[in-house]
Structures are given as C-alpha cells and as structure tokens.
C-alpha cells in the first residue's frame, strides 16, 4: 500500500513538473505581427534596456522611448497591446497578402511595400526599433567593425569603420564543410582574411585600375549586446526565388571574442517557409534563471531547459541570437588584425 501511495505521488509530481507555467506575460497579436512581438519580447527582457528606455522617455519624446516604456510597464501587469508601437513604426492599414517570391524585406523596401507582404523580417524591425530609440538606450546594441582593404598592386590600405546592430553570419552549404553547422566557426569566418580576385576586384584610385585586394575585418567596438543574424534566406539562381536554409546549427551558450566573454540570453526563431512562417522568442530570465518561450500572448517555461546536456544546443530555427557581454579586457589592450595589415 505504501508503495502504491509513493508511486502515485511520483506520478503527480512528474505531471506538476511538466506544467508549462510562466512568470511573465505576452503581447496580443491582432494582425499576424509575430515578427514584431518576438523582437519586443526580447527587448523587454534585455538587462538594463527597459530602465534606459524609461529614462529616455522623459527627454526624447520624438523617439520610441515613451511607447516602449508604456509597453514594458504594461507587460508587468497584464498581456499587453502593441498597437501604439505598430502605429509608431508605420504598420497601419495592412493589406495581408502573403508574398510568394519575396524574402524578408530590406529596410529600404519597407516604406513602399509595407502594405503588400505579410511575411516580414524580424531582423529589419529589430534594427528599425533601435534606430528609432534614443541613442543612450540603444547604444548597448551597437557595435563597430574595422574593415581594411589592401590593394595588392600598390599595397595601399583603405580603412573604414562599419557600425552595425546585428552581425550577419553565413550558414549552410555556402560555407566550407567544417563550419557549415558550427556557429563558432562560422562566426570566425567573418574575421578570416579574404582575397578579392576575378569579377570581385576593386578599383584602386592610386593604381588607376582594377586590382586584386585583401580584405580583413576586426573589432573597432564590441557591443554590450552582440546580436548575430543567421543568413537563412538565400536566392536560388536556378529557380529564381528565395529559399530558406533549414540546416541545424550548433549554438554555443558562450562566445569568447578577443578578451570579451559573451553569454547567450535570447533567440528569435523562424518556423515554416517564406510563404507562411512564424516567429517566436526564446529568452533567459536573469530574475529566475529559467528559459521561457514567448509566442505572442502565450508564454511558458521551457521543459526541459536548454544547455542541460552541454554548452551547446542544436537549432534549425534560430534566426537572431542575442549574446550579453559578461567580461571584457580594458579598452585599447592589444592591437587588432586590421591594424596589423600592411
């Protein structure tokens, strides 16, 4: 009898343990705006960003800070509406027709095609929100790459600084075999020197001709929040249409970048195809330490929790990965690869 009672208790405990409860609230999605709600969920859970927005809301009335501050405050009390944010971003009077051939839109296409295509790009709206937020609040997301192009004829160096909100990372069959499914190696490919030859040569003002060149990228400024955008959408030249790359990627919990350590705290995921996809967000709470799945108004604690079997997890849906800087060497310590070129 005692055995049966214990077995019954174990079954009840197992059921309770699997109940997907949540400490957080989601957002209402009245018009298939999952590309927007997933970004807003991540921003609301980003450490110190809501506080920065609150400070900016009193000063920067022409920015999105007041709208974001209201949304973040509402999320502390109830399932929140995103109407004000959508209108501030120009998402009004939408004609919901699904694009059959277009990829998630580029920022330059947004104004002219806003009322045409239903499937939009969460990465573009991530950047659009940050561009519309006060500089003091958004600066934690902005990084800068130092790009050096060296002419192989006259050996002249041309250096530029390229600011970014998210860093594009190639995945899938376009990469070398060793890095096709490994995010850390694919990330390192961004900083691997490349040679421009053939049709990709540059025009050198000093040589007055097209010349081969070497391109090296390195860090100028490493952001507090590093966002990696996996390039899952590519043009199929044979079919003349965009296709989604659905390969499974090894996503590391931690990244080490030349003296800086980063830890993953959020992922925006894309499911389905370009013809009819859906975005969700997977976010780690720094209050509870748990990982949660944000799917519009539905929020649940993940069971099982990610990274319990190791320091990497596999994903075929991850699209935007947000890493929070945990430690960093003093500024100016050491020289960059770009500075050493020449």
Q: What pLDDT is attached to residue 16?
A: 41
pLDDT of the residue at 10 = 58
pLDDT in tens, the chain (342 residues): 444 666 655 554 445 445 445 679 999 987 789 999 999 999 999 999 999 999 999 888 889 999 999 999 999 999 999 999 999 998 865 443 333 333 444 433 333 333 334 568 999 999 999 999 999 999 999 999 999 999 988 988 889 899 999 999 988 765 444 444 678 888 888 888 888 888 888 898 889 889 899 999 999 999 999 999 998 887 766 777 777 888 888 899 999 887 899 999 999 999 987 777 899 999 999 999 999 999 999 999 999 999 988 788 989 899 999 999 998 766 544 444 443 333
Residue closest to 71 by CA, chosen among 47, 99, 50: 50
Q: What is the pLDDT of residue 179?
A: 46
Instruction: Give the per-residue pLDDT at 223.
Output: 95
The beta-strand segments (E) located in 232-259 are 233-236, 241-244, 249-252, 254-257
- Of 87, 88, 90, 217, nearest to 143 by C-alpha is 217
- CA dist., res. 294 & res. 5, Å (int): 37
85, 40 contact by CB (below 8 A): yes
Enter the pTM of the model. 0.80
pLDDT at position 65: 96
Residue among 264, 294, 292 at smallest CA distance from 278: 294
Instruction: Determine the pLDDT at residue 341.
Output: 36
Q: What is the DSSP letter of 175?
A: S
Residue 155 is predicted with a pLDDT of: 87
Q: Identify the pLDDT of residue 22.
A: 62
């Amino acid at each position: 009898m005692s055995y049966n009672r214990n077995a019954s208790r174990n079954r009840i405990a197992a059921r309770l343990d699997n109940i997907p409860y949540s400490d957080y609230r989601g957002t209402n999605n009245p018009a298939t705006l999952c590309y927007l709600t997933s970004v807003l969920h991540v921003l609301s859970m980003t450490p110190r960003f809501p506080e920065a927005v609150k400070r900016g809301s009193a000063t920067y009335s022409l920015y999105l800070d007041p709208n974001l501050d209201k949304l973040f405050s509402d999320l502390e009390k109830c399932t929140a509406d995103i109407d004000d944010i959508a209108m501030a971003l120009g998402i009004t009077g939408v004609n919901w027709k699904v694009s059959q051939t277009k990829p998630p839109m580029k920022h330059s296409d947004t104004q002219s095609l806003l009322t045409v295509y239903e499937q939009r790009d969460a990465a573009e709206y991530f950047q659009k929100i940050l561009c519309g937020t006060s500089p003091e609040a958004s600066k934690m997301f902005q990084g800068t790459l130092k790009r050096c192009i060296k002419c192989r004829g006259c050996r002249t160096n041309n250096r530029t600084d390229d600011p970014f909100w998210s860093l594009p990372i190639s995945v899938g069959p376009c990469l070398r075999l060793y890095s096709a499914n490994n995010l850390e190696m694919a990330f390192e490919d961004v900083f691997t020197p490349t040679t421009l030859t053939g049709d990709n040569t540059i025009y050198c003002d000093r040589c007055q001709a097209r010349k081969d060149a070497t391109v090296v990228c390195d860090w100028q400024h490493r952001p507090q929040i590093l966002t990696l955008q996996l390039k899952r959408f590519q043009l199929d030249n044979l079919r003349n249409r965009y296709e989604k790359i659905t390969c499974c990627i090894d996503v590391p919990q931690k990244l080490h970048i030349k003296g800086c350590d980063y830890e993953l705290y959020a992922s925006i995921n894309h499911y389905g195809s370009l013809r009819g996809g859906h975005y969700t967000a997977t976010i780690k709470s720094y209050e509870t330490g748990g990982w949660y799945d944000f799917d519009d108004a539905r929020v649940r604690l993940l069971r099982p929790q990610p990274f319990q079997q190791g320091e990497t997890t596999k994903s075929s849906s991850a699209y935007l990965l947000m890493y929070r800087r945990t430690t960093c060497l003093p500024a100016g310590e050491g020289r960059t690869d770009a500075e050493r070129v020449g």
